[in-house]
Amino acid sequence: MAVNPQDFKQFILRQIHITKNELGHGSYAVVMELEYQGLKCAGKKLYRVFYETGIGHAARRYLEECHLLSQTRHPNIVQFLGVCFEEGSQFPILVMEFLPTNLTSCLERYGILPDEINFSILHDVSLGLVSLHGQTPVIVHRDLSANNVLLSTNMTAKISDLGVART
């Protein structure tokens, strides 16, 4: 799928350092650690096969995710920072705030969480969903799971991965 970097001109971040540390991966993309102006960030990079071999469905979803996140600002939705381009690539890496863990990993590590934390996480996710559903047009996540709920160091929950979201 041909992508024109100029379509992302307003979102391009310069001087991004890609650390090569993998933070996670899914069916369509890998999430890796980035550094931008001394700030640790996360970068979602679509697997090369999806945009080099003409498998446009995943690439189209990825580009839609970039645009959806760029229009969404809420404390319980992962913050979109911009995009960057790896040297030699014409396809953007989505740059987002870094959060240290997701709800799945937290539950696997600690087991049952105290009620206060459970209620706080549910409240945060609810607020994020209210924000998405309050957009015009409405954004429906369609893939909300413990894997897509990221947690900050103080256990603030943020919705991530709008890759299959629809307006």
Pair of tokens at residue 154: 């103080």
Pair of tokens at residue 153: 């160091």
Active site residues: 143
Ramachandran class of 21: left when φ > 0, alpha when ψ lies in -120 to 50, beta otherwise:
beta
Distance CA 163, CA 167 (A): 12
Q: Closest by alpha carbon to 73, among 91, 94, 93, 96?
A: 96
Distance CA 32, CA 23 (A): 5
